[in-house]
Amino acid sequence: MIPTGAMFLEKSGRLLFRWRSFTPVPLLIVALLLLWRSRGPSSPLWLVVGLALCIAGQALRAWVLGQVPDGTSGQNEKLIATQLNTSGPYALTRNPLYLGNLGIALGLCLIAHDPVLLVIVAALFALQYRAIIAAEEGFLRERFGAQFDEYCSHVPRFWPRLKRSAAPAGPWDWRRALRKEHNPAAAWIALAIVIVALDHRPLWPYAAAVGVTAALWLAIKGWKHRWLKGGFTEDLRRRLHETGR
């Protein structure tokens, strides 16, 4: 029988999993209030390390989403798994996507050079993803049984075991990675530019950079949905249908 605390954690995780794309919104509001305290000159090291973390986190996410099959990892609203991912990044950590998220989140806090924000984000990240991971593990254990338990015995839950070599994975598809990651990548890049802009004048170079980011994002989205081949209407109809559900 599953202990009450574990059941509550799994139920909370399932709810957070469904809304995980929107849970950062309240945090952004708090962050905006905190950011005004720490605006001003800072060591370039904050920016360099922060960007490095963001890029590393994004690279890890792109590695995952460019090689996993459909019906497994991704931006799904409910827990699904047609097969158990154990190769590539999943041979190093059972949650590479969430590790990538952590890198991007902490990287943005470093770019903002705000230690208080860094601590708050790290704490909230740990609370949210501990529950989500518990829900996913319960689902995968129910779905795959002994196969999942065997996988857990060799691969750590979160922090990668770098001494362990990654098992060969399927071919990496940059097109698939781009289709899956253009939204989150554009979001954190634009946010990073805005954070840096708050410390500098004039603002127009940063506004131009955000504009270029938005233009590239729209170009990739148009390519993904084939807007130039008549896909715009179909894409708009699909989004309106999803909004009305």
* DSSP result, 60-88: HHHHHHTTSPTTSSSS-SS---SS---SG
How high is the pLDDT of residue 178? 94
pLDDT in tens, the chain (245 residues): 456 667 777 778 777 777 777 777 777 777 777 777 777 778 899 999 999 999 999 999 999 999 887 666 555 667 777 788 888 899 999 999 999 999 999 999 999 999 989 999 999 899 899 989 988 888 899 889 999 999 999 999 999 987 766 666 678 899 999 999 999 999 999 999 999 998 888 999 999 999 999 999 999 999 988 877 665 566 555 554 444 44
Residue corresponding to tokens 């995980």:
20
How high is the pLDDT of residue 80? 74
135-151 core/surface letters (b: 16 or more CB in 10 A; e: else): bbbbbbeeeeeeebeeb
104 Cβ neighbours under 8 A, 6+ residues apart = 53, 54, 57, 58, 61, 184, 188
How high is the pLDDT of residue 170? 73
How high is the pLDDT of residue 191? 93
How high is the pLDDT of residue 232? 56
pTM for this model (two decimals): 0.85
How high is the pLDDT of residue 219? 94
